[in-house]
Amino acid sequence: MKPPVFSYHDPRSLAEAVSLLGRLENAKVLAGGQSLMPMLNMRYVLPDHVVDLGRVEGLAYIRDDGEAVVVGAMTRQRDIEFSPLVKEKLPLLAEAILSTGHRQTRNRGTIGGSLCHLDPSAEQVTVAAALDATLTIEGPRGRRTMPFAEFPVAFMTPNIEPDELLVEIRLPAWPKGHGYGFVEFARRHGDFAIASAAALLQVDGSGKIARASLTLGGVDTAPLRMTEAEELMVGQVPDEGLFRAAGEICGRIEAMDDALVPASYRRKLAAVMSRRALVLAQGRVERP
């Protein structure tokens, strides 16, 4: 099919974009278009107005603020893929972004667009949860920040008003030498994952796990931080048995059920993917 007829707006500033969103009825925001355009092509959405952020100044950047990497919402996935700063400070994101769509779509797709689209199997969504990202949202009532954990309110529904825009994502960096691993299972490389897992491990001088982060993507309506498994691992010496036990916790979640993928299969994958992500992360730990 073809996209439906709509009016197009291309504001040049953030203020102009916010005021348009406040004024227009039934408007959709277009960031990189790699999710919205398929939805328009399929006519899953029928907006009267499309507000394109492509020409808004100052929303694409990757900066180091010392403790975190701060990314503008309109930063293209390609720029994340090729950023030396992301590779150095956020190796988990650098790894996960390679499974996001394809080179063609990463050239257009943006991190902000993916987070607001909030597909629970999207890699950037899982990584934002894994890294405890903080989001900056701008609207007519000014700016507010929000921990990523509060962002998903329901399946593909972000905690953001129709007249607000996500402008910045702050991704805290883990200390140098931490282990990281992102793995996913998809029918085809680049497709949305049926299940994915993101693991981060920090090991102290005595060889015990000092800090752990384990997140499942694609299995529930929003990414799942597996705090129970994280707590199990902290203070322990990492080994296969421990990771298997963490994986078993992941295998007991309440997973989504749909026509193609039954919940029981997602649970099995959750256990396997999380164990693999942890093993991968452990192999990359550089001991202090």
Partner 1 sequence: MSDIRTIRFTLNGTKVSKVVEAHETVVDVLTRKFDLSGTRESCRQGLCGCCTIYVDSNPVSSCLMLAWFLDGTDVRTIEGLADGDTLDPVQEAFIEAGAFQCGFCTSGFIMMVKHLLSENPDPSDEEIRHRLAGNLCRCSAYPEIMDAVKIAAAKARSVAKARP
The binding site for partner 1 (CB under 8 A) comprises 1-8, 10, 30, 33-34, 37-38, 40-42, 50, 52, 54, 78, 98, 101-105, 107-108, 188-191
Please, what is the minimum distance in Å from the beta carbon of residue 132 to partner 1? 29
Q: Which is nearer to partner 1, 8 or 206 (CB)?
A: 8
Nearer to partner 1, 98 or 245 (CB): 98
Q: How far is the CB of 274 from partner 1 (least distance, A)?
A: 24
Closest distance of CB 282 from partner 1, Å: 24
Cβ 48 to partner 1, closest distance in Å? 8
**DSSP calls for the chain:** --PPP-EEE--SSHHHHHHHHHH-SSEEEESS-TTHHHHHHTTS---SEEEE-TT-TT---EEE-SSEEEEETT-BHHHHHT-HHHHHH-HHHHHHHTTSS-HHHHTT-BHHHHHHHT-TT-HHHHHHHHTT-EEEEEETTEEEEEEGGGSEEETTEES--TT-EEEEEEEEPPPTT-EEEEEEE-SSTTSPPSEEEEEEEEE-TTS-EEEEEEEEESSSSS-EE-HHHHHHHTTSPP-HHHHHHHHHHHTTS-----SSS-HHHHHHHHHHHHHHHHHHHHHH----
Token pair of 5 as six digits: 């007829």
Smallest separation (angstroms) from partner 1 to the CB of 284:
19
| Smaller CB separation from partner 1, 9 or 267 | 9
Nearer to partner 1, 66 or 84 (CB): 84
In terms of CB distance, is 40 or 60 closer to partner 1? Answer: 40
Q: Which is nearer to partner 1, 188 or 287 (CB)?
A: 188
Minimum Å gap between C-beta 212 and partner 1 is 29
